[in-house]
């Protein structure tokens, strides 16, 4: 059994992760960390029979008193910056889907993991379909280099564009020579109407209640368009990937990124 702790355990994503850990015969939920609900039984929050696991708001205390093999982090960038280094310094492996950190910041955490003989895994998206969407988009860019990305998330998401969109653009850029799309003298009547820019490609972020996580990549060519779209209809879509990462993360030292690299 792999002893798992969850940071951000009381949020919507955190609760779903806790349920997944409890339901998986290879994983054991031993710790729940959050900024609120101090002392509450996590089982009462997730609707599962979990004995003896209380929500802890003091990470230092939790790490001192609980034996954890893998800590799963789905919080926000500032919390990750503060908390993940503490976990890595204890020699505990980390699986994270938190976005908003730069590649340099993640690399620094990976170096910290190496220094403490432990490991870290990061992915912007843990849904298998999203991995395929990015793979197909990168392949299509070889033949249709005119492309824009539209990502759609719930209105509680803080960062824009999403980590998935940034990763998608980076993967496309590997197969596409950078150039500025659209008319050279185009202008915006409303600032931001053309979205953000990444190596000449445009990216647009939608934030509305009702969405979980969706993204479409639209390619334009002579007399045709191609749209590649993925929709996560519930947070359950991310759970198989998260569970897989929790089981595999201790098999290396340092940082590994992107789900396709552990499938």
* pLDDT tens per residue, range 38-96: 999 999 999 998 989 999 999 999 999 999 999 999 999 999 999 999 999 999 999 99
The CATH classification number of 128-232 equals 3.30.360.10
Same fold, 2-122+236-261 and 128-232: no
Domain map (residue ranges) of the chain: 2-122+236-261, 128-232
111 among known catalytic residues: no
CA distance 102 to 113: 17
On the question of a cis peptide bond just before residue 161, with omega within 30 degrees of 0, the verdict is: yes
The catalytic position among 89, 90, 157, 247 is 157
The interaxial angle of helices 12-23 and 239-248, nearest 10 deg, is 60
Given this model, what pLDDT does residue 115 score? 97
Q: How confident is the model at residue 100 (pLDDT cuts 50, 70, 90)?
A: confident
Catalytic residue status for 135: no
pLDDT of amino acid 22: 97
Query: CA nearest 4: which of 29, 24, 33, 34?
Result: 29
Q: Which CATH number fits domain 2-122+236-261: 3.40.50.2300, 3.40.50.720, 3.20.20.70, 3.40.190.10?
A: 3.40.50.720
Q: Which of 122, 153, 171, 248 is catalytic?
A: 153
Show the tokens assigned to 28: 């054991």
How far is the C-alpha of 252 from the C-alpha of 255, rounded, in Å? 8
166-219 confidence digits (pLDDT tens): 999 999 999 999 999 999 999 999 999 999 999 999 999 999 999 999 999 999
């Amino acid at each position: 059994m792999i002893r798992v702790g969850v940071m951000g355990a009381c949020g919507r994503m955190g609760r779903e992760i806790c349920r997944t850990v409890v339901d998986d015969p290879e994983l054991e939920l031993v710790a729940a960390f959050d900024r609120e609900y101090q002392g509450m039984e996590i089982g009462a929050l997730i609707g599962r029979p979990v004995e003896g696991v209380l929500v802890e708001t003091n990470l230092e205390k939790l790490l001192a008193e609980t034996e954890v093999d893998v800590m799963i982090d789905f919080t926000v960038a500032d919390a990750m910056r503060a908390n993940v280094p503490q976990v890595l310094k204890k020699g505990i492996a980390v699986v994270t889907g938190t976005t908003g950190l730069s590649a340099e910041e993640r690399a620094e955490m990976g170096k910290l993991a190496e220094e403490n003989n432990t490991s870290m895994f990061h992915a912007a998206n843990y849904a298998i379909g999203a991995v395929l969407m990015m793979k197909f988009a990168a392949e299509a860019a070889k033949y249709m280099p005119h492309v824009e990305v539209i990502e759609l998330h719930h209105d509680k998401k803080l960062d824009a564009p999403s980590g998935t969109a940034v990763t998608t653009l980076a993967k496309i850029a590997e197969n596409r020579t950078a150039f500025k799309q659209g008319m050279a003298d185009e202008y915006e009547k409303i600032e931001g109407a053309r979205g953000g820019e990444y190596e000449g490609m445009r990216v647009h972020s939608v934030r509305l209640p009702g969405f979980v996580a969706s993204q479409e990549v639209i390619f334009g060519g002579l007399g045709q368009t191609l749209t590649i779209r993925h929709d996560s209809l519930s947070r359950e879509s991310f759970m198989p990937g998260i569970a897989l990462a929790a089981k595999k993360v201790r098999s290396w030292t340092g940082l590994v990124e992107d789900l396709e690299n552990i499938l």
